[in-house]
Amino acid sequence: MVAPAAALAIALLLIHFLLFPAPMAAVLIPTDYLALQSIRKSLSDLPGSTYFASWDFTADPCSFPGVLCRDDRVVALALGDPRAGSPGLSGHLPPTLGRLSALAELSLVPGSVSGPIPTSISLCSTLRFLALSRNLLSGPIPPSLSSLAHLRVIDVGFNFLSGTIPPLLPRLPSLSTLILAGNRLSGPIPSFALNSPLVRLDLQHNRLSGQIPVSLPTSLRYLSLSSNQLSGPVDRILPSLRRLTFLDLSSNSFSGPIPGSIFALPLYSLRLQRNYFSGDLRPSGPVRIPYIDLSFNRLSGRIPAALSAAEWLYLDYNRFIGEVPTSLVDRILKGEMRVLYLQHNFLTGMAIGPPSKIPMITSLCLQFNCMVPPVQTACPARAGQQRMRPAEQCPKWRNV
């Protein structure tokens, strides 16, 4: 039911349009007109931004920057100057956004807009695109967003949102991109529909806990869950994600083996560092992943020669033993590797000597293994000052 004051305002606006018709093909309906006025009152330009300078309501609101109309309705609203370096907006998102019932796209440039995400957005039943990232929004993600069956993109990353992920949100039938990264979300990752069209899932830098749901969509191409409090094995989940091109599970508490089939995925970046993965690495076939970071885990055994195809390879702070594969040495000397970090393992040799010249573009670190580094190279500061492990830590690996 419309409030009496709002009804009076709409009636007066209708009278205005009847007495003073605007010279345009279609007139914006009063509810949309009043919603835009409310948005203008709730938001302001930050210093250096001039986005609202031309929002003059004596003119056609459909000509305002960021406002797109079709017939007599607002169908897209891009709040703020989208040009790089624009300082954005301040203020809050008003509940009257929900009156734009024909809205299909809503975006907000990075800025200082604070307060909650209005639950009334769920009244925009045709909404397909929602992007409110990199502001100061707080409070929970409205569970009512789960009713927007046409939503394809949700990006509310890098705000101050808290609470749990609404359990039905990942089950939206058209959702292809879900970015909730950089917030304060807690609790488990909800389950997904097996036929979900989701392509990008970014939940990094939150406080999520528990295990990865088994029902992750096989359509995923980008998966980032880094810097949470997630745990458990992944060997029964990851192999089914055969379309992945980017995978980041770093800085969690995942454990167990790294499935060999993961190295056969069409990945360009594999980031599993800072977990509790253990056991030998056994790639199931050729490895063509340019960037691999498995550092700070509990991996053991010999380094697989198949990993020599990587350009950036981080295996430091593990429990690898034996000699460095000659295929890695060859790639280093040819300048085909940019980074090879092997420090803080239990390696016993590398077929490279002082006459060999490490290319300038390559960063190689061998410190704190069961050998004197055969070449002197610059290591990162975190590698420490000790060139090799104390002898008492190495006897049982010397003859491996």
Q: What is the pLDDT along the chain (400 residues), one digit of tens a residue?
A: 445 544 444 444 444 444 444 444 458 999 999 999 999 999 999 999 999 999 999 999 999 999 999 999 999 999 999 888 889 999 999 999 999 999 999 999 999 999 999 999 999 999 999 999 999 999 999 999 999 999 999 999 999 999 999 999 999 999 999 999 999 999 999 999 889 999 999 999 999 999 999 989 999 999 999 999 999 999 999 999 999 999 999 999 999 999 999 999 999 999 999 999 999 999 998 899 999 999 999 999 999 999 999 999 999 999 999 999 999 999 999 999 999 999 999 999 998 877 678 898 999 999 999 998 888 888 988 888 889 999 999 976 554 4
pLDDT at 24: 44
pLDDT at 46: 96
Report the distance separating Cα 102 and Cα 57, nearest Å.
20
Report the distance separating Cα 300 and Cα 279, nearest Å.
5
Residue 221 makes CB contacts below 8 A (sequence gap 6+) with 199, 200, 243, 244, 245, 246
Q: Which amino acid makes up residue 21?
A: P
Size (the chain), residues: 400
Three-state secondary structure call for residue 206: coil
Backbone angles phi, psi at 38, to 5 degrees: -65, -40
Residue 168 in tokens: 């039905």
Three-state secondary structure call for residue 199: coil
pLDDT at 397: 52
Yes or no: say if 224 and 252 are a contact pair by the CB < 8 Å rule: no
Report the distance separating Cα 367 and Cα 325, nearest Å.
17
Strand partners, 112: 90
